[in-house]
Amino acid sequence: MPIDFTLTSYQRRLQRIAREFANEILAPLVRAADDDPDPQRAFQSVKGAYVESYKLGFATGFIPKKYGGGGISNLDLQIVVEELTAVDPGFATILLVNGLALMPLVWFGSEKQKQAWLPRATSDPRGEYLAGWTVSEAAGAPGGTANFDGPAQYPAGIALTATHDRKNGEYVLNGRKYWPVNAGGWDLQGADVNVCIVRTEPKQGGSRGLSAIIVPRGTPGVSYERPIAKLGHRLCQNNSVVFADVRVAEENAFAIGDGDLVINKAFTWSGPVAAIAAVGVARSAYEYALGWAKKYTGGGDVPIINHQIVAYTLAEVAMKIEAGRAFAWKAAHYHDLHDANGHAVGPMAKVFCSEMLFSAVYQSMKVVGVNALDRTHPLERYLREAAVFPLYDAGNIGMQMRKICTVMAHADFDPRAIASCSATPFGKIAPPPADVQVVGRNLKRQA
């Protein structure tokens, strides 16, 4: 296929639909929701917009057509996400967390589990369906999330335990999660499902003792505390979830012993998505500052864009945005070719674009000047949104950079693989089980 950045007519139509939705339905709600001191009320205030976006296919478009989803490619998803995040990245996060939660089922679930859970997600007549991606845990010794695959045993890393009650055919969950988006649902009684990462083997390290389990809404023993009040992304709901002797049917479990792979792959899939989301916010900051610079004279004879320092600053921002978009598209294309296994390029795009965003917003603020601090202008919100990007979606300096380094350190890594869109190696991380051989920091099962 030739290298060609021209959108197809289908992609142009997707872009138009997403842009119209974002500008006409979402934009009028953003200011009040962002200002609302009550995070749950802010989240609920965009429920109507969510229902509209569900009807347009944005909430489950990434699920394969076979299960009722849109079967949209990673590249096409880029087009939609840029338009939504240019208006509000927190709202877009509500939609995308459905993907973080449900795509693991597509990759790791059995056919029976896919048939049981995915069509429900894609065919909700109310359009309210939410899935929670319930992984992260609260800070504290020895808690946290970044070390989820470290060799330490319970309670380090993932400390939500799931004890197998074989007699009753159930897992019993105990512990808590902190940060998951959507998990509490519209009424704080739970999302339709929560896909939880649990420790099924407390005596094993995180690369061997973790699994995934689907916890449906209404399961007794799960409770939701008041959502977290955040600096940015205030339209999405981040939850604190408590599990007390929660009994879940064993057929809801998947990727048993491979929960680390689930976490890694989900956050690799979302890498290009977060990358283009950063581009969307940067685009809005840049366009606002450019418009301002072309009109505002500051009392001088000409608009400030005629001052070289101002024009140079804006030109730099424009360059960074173009580079970021190209990188995000490239990573999404790579994911289309390799079933979302770009464990280096996906995180690279996310890290690059999210770091780019912060400087793009700051430079845009310098162009606007002191008035950028006035809340009647949108730049202070963009700065708050920008602060989220390097820290969420597995954190740049923690999980995402670690994946890039793991791929690079692998004995079989070809440094030209990303340029040529060929596969890059990735696998389980130490400690090794007895039947595997260590290759670099990765493992290969012996034949």
Residue ranges binding ligand FAD (CB under 6 A): 93, 97, 100, 133-136, 139, 144-147, 179-181, 233, 236, 238, 388, 391-395, 397-399, 402
Question: Which residue, 34 or 393, is less far from ligand FAD as judged by CB?
Answer: 393
Nearer to ligand FAD, 228 or 315 (CB): 228
At its nearest, how many Å lie between ligand FAD and the CB of residue 159? 12
3-state secondary structure of 443: strand
Between the alpha carbon of residue 31 and those of residues 17, 37, 235, 239, the distances in Å are: 22, 12, 10, 22
Q: Note if the bond before 431 is cis, omega within 30 degrees.
A: yes
Nearest-approach distance from CB 327 to ligand FAD, in angstroms: 20
Rounded least distance, CB 69 to ligand FAD, Å: 19
Amino acid found at 431: P
Closer to ligand FAD at the Cβ: 253 or 394? 394
Question: Min. distance of Cβ 306 from ligand FAD in angstroms?
Answer: 39
Nearer to ligand FAD, 58 or 329 (CB): 58
Cβ pair 278, 357 in contact under 8 A: yes
> Element (H or E) spanning 245, and its range?
strand 238-249
Q: How far is CA 81 from CA 19, 142, 284, 368, 411, in A?
A: 10, 36, 13, 26, 35
Cβ nearer to ligand FAD, comparing 178 with 286: 178
Nearest CB to ligand FAD, comparing residues 181 and 404? 181
Residues in the chain: 447
- Closest contact distance (angstroms) between CB of 406 and ligand FAD is 11
Pairing of strands 131-134, 193-199: parallel
Residues 114, 46: Cα–Cα separation, whole Å:
29
Positive/negative CA dihedral, 6, 11, 17, 19: negative
Query: Which of residues 57 and 144 has its CB atom nearest to ligand FAD in the complex?
Result: 144
Radius of gyration of the chain (CA): 22
> Is residue 379 helix, strand or coil?
helix
CB of 101 to ligand FAD, least distance (A): 8
Residue 114 sits at φ, ψ, to 5 deg, of -65, -45
Return the closest-CA partner of residue 174 out of 143, 199, 141.
199
Q: Which is nearer to ligand FAD, 101 or 282 (CB)?
A: 101
DSSP H helices in 129-249: none
Q: Under 8 Å CB-to-CB from 357, ≥6 apart: which residues?
A: 278, 279, 281, 282, 324, 386, 389
The CB-of-190 to ligand FAD minimum distance in angstroms stands at: 14
Minimum CB separation of residue 296 from ligand FAD in Å reads: 33
